[in-house]
């Protein structure tokens, strides 16, 4: 899920020993906040602003839900929302997103570079604070069942909510693409977890899951050489022997006249942002080019930025906001602001919304 970052709010390794302990003390995660869930729906529309605006506005109007970020990309023809709330409120918001996306997006006319199987392509639920993964698994299964019944749509469960080991990895479910769904659903092992064994004519299918936090991050190279971007993606992704917890693919960006290494970072402690960045930088330099810039899709945990701040030598006496901004600038994140960290964005919005306030999100 990886389009170009156009934030709605503001313009938008592993540290060892004492450093890692300091990062964890400083970040404080989101402890003591009960029953708070993040949802990051990906839908296959990145060009028609009226459709994207309508979906985002509908989410923003749901009581108990706070829309934190929205990103869209025309080359990917894809948009991503990031919102948080109580479990019941998040489910209500997702029903609104589903209704808008399925009514307004026709995949027969959609042509983006990003892999997709559905108009409402992917719906992950992520536990925050003291919320357990089990809560998000239950949410994923309940929403998947409702979605299939409501729209006669095949729905696949993935990640921690998966019903089968071969469906834990999202890319395995999405490999056939929208165009390949009929054959995939007709295969002996192709039955979805919910819904019919036939694709919705315009909305395809949907993958719904529960997972830990994932950092979606794109690095633009200062070249239009798609072959180079593909080689770099292969060299850094875990499945090809690269960096742990890294998924990557190469995408051409016609609007920018360059290529992109599109990254999902599944665990920033195993492969910190700074290590991924340096690896891509060094591989690009060896090929005679460089990094143009990078972009974060949605938000990332505070600790991920503090690890980078430690790596580049930003003094721990500096404020968290200053350290986040320094790290973001070093990572060449376009349009970065200090509230690009999830905890800081939540902290800033806490007083403006109906999010739980029994305990501070960031101490």
Confidence at residue 352, expressed as pLDDT on a 0 to 100 scale: 58
Q: At what angle do helices 302-312 and 320-330 cross, to 10 degrees?
A: 70
H or E element in which residue 155 lies: strand 155-159
- Concatenate the DSSP letters of all residues of 83-133 into one string: EEE-HHHHHHHHHHHHHHHHHH--GGG---SS--SBSEEEEEEEEETT--H
Percentage, residues of the chain above pLDDT 90: 72
Percentage, residues of the chain above pLDDT 70: 87
Strands 78-85 and 36-39: antiparallel
Taking only the tens place, the pLDDT of each residue in 13-70 is 233 344 334 433 333 344 444 589 999 999 998 888 889 999 999 898 899 999 999 9
Q: At what angle do helices 87-104 and 133-151 cross, to 10 degrees?
A: 30
Taking only the tens place, the pLDDT of each residue in 79-122 is 999 999 999 999 999 999 999 999 999 999 877 778 899 999 99
- Range 184-192 contact pairs with CB under 8 angstroms and sequence separation of 24 or more: 185/154, 192/148, 192/154, 192/155, 192/156
Beta-carbon contacts of residue 175 (< 8 Å; ≥ 6 apart): 115
> Is the pLDDT confidence value at 180 over 90?
yes
Q: How many helices (DSSP H) and strands (DSSP E) are in the chain?
A: 11, 11
> Is the pLDDT confidence value at 360 over 60?
no
- Predicted confidence band of residue 4 (pLDDT cuts 50, 70, 90): very low
State the catalytic residues.
114
Confidence at residue 334, expressed as pLDDT on a 0 to 100 scale: 93
Q: At what angle do helices 273-286 and 302-312 cross, to 10 degrees?
A: 60
What the block records as the tokens of 207 is 């993958």
Q: What are the chain's domains?
A: 30-210 (3.30.990.10), 215-350 (3.30.70.670)
Confidence at residue 351, expressed as pLDDT on a 0 to 100 scale: 58
Closest by CA to 346, choosing from 330, 357, 331, 332, is 357
What the block records as the tokens of 168 is 């834990």
Q: What's the mean pLDDT when you consider all of the chain?
A: 87
Question: How far is the C-alpha of 186 from the C-alpha of 283, rounded, in Å?
Answer: 42
Once rounded to an integer, what is the mean pLDDT over residues 176-201?
96
Contact 332, 325 (CB under 8 A): no
Radius of gyration over every alpha carbon of the chain, rounded to an integer in angstroms: 20
**246 burial via Cβ count (<10 Å: 0-12, 13-18, 19+):** buried
Strands 155-159 and 206-210: parallel
Confidence at residue 34, expressed as pLDDT on a 0 to 100 scale: 55
Would you tell me how many other CB atoms lie within 10 Å of the CB of residue 264?
Answer: 19
Question: How far is the C-alpha of 51 from the C-alpha of 101, rounded, in Å?
Answer: 8
What the block records as the tokens of 277 is 């960045």
Mean pLDDT check: name the lowest of 47-51, 268-272, 294-298: 47-51
Contact 36, 356 (CB under 8 A): yes
Confidence at residue 355, expressed as pLDDT on a 0 to 100 scale: 52
SS3 track for 250-310 = EEEECCCCEEEEEEEECCCCCCCHHHHHHHHHHHHHHCCCCEEEEEEECCECHHHHHHHHH
> Is the pLDDT confidence value at 11 over 50?
no
Question: How far is the C-alpha of 231 from the C-alpha of 228, rounded, in Å?
Answer: 5
- Concatenate the DSSP letters of all residues of 10-42 into one string: S------HHHHHHHHHHH-TTTT--SEEEE--E
Taking only the tens place, the pLDDT of each residue in 81-90 is 999 999 999 9
H or E element in which residue 55 lies: helix 49-60
Between 273 and 29, residue with greater pLDDT: 273
Taking only the tens place, the pLDDT of each residue in 303-359 is 999 999 999 999 887 899 999 999 999 999 999 998 999 999 988 877 555 454 333
């Amino acid at each position: 899920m990886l389009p170009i970052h156009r934030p709605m709010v503001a313009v938008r390794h592993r540290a060892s020993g004492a450093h890692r302990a300091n990062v964890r003390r400083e970040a404080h995660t989101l402890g003591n906040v009960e029953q708070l869930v993040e949802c990051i729906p990906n839908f296959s529309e990145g060009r028609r602003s009226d459709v994207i605006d309508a979906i985002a506005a509908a989410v923003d109007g749901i009581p108990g839900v706070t829309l934190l970020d929205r990103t869209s990309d025309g080359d990917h023809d894809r948009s991503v929302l990031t919102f948080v709330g109580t479990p019941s409120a998040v489910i209500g918001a997702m029903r609104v997103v589903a209704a808008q996306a399925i009514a307004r997006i026709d995949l027969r006319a959609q042509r983006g570079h990003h892999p997709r199987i559905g108009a409402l392509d992917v719906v992950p639920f992520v536990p925050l604070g003291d919320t357990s993964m089990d809560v998000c698994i239950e949410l994923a299964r309940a929403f998947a069942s409702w979605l299939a019944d409501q729209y006669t749509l095949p729905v696949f469960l993935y990640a921690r909510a998966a019903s089968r080991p071969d469906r834990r990895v999202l890319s395995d479910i999405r490999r056939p693409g929208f165009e390949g769904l009929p054959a995939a659903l007709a295969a002996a092992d192709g039955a979805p977890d919910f819904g019919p064994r036939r694709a919705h004519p315009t909305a395809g299918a949907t993958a719904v899951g529960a997972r830990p936090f994932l950092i979606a991050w794109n690095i633009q190279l200062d070249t239009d050489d798609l072959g180079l971007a593909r080689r770099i993606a292969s060299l850094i992704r875990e499945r090809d022997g690269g960096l742990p917890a890294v998924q990557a693919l190469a995408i051409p960006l016609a609007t920018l006249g360059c290529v992109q290494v599109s990254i999902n970072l599944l665990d920033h402690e195993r492969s910190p942002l700074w290590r991924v960045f340096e690896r891509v930088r060094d591989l690009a330099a060896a090929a005679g080019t460089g990094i143009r810039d990078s972009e974060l899709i949605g938000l990332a945990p505070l600790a991920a930025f503090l690890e980078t701040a430690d790596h580049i030598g930003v003094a721990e006496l500096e404020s968290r906001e200053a350290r986040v901004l320094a790290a973001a600038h070093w990572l060449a994140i376009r349009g970065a602001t200090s509230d690009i960290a999830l905890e800081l964005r939540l902290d800033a919005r806490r007083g403006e919304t109906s999010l739980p306030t029994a305990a501070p999100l960031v101490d």
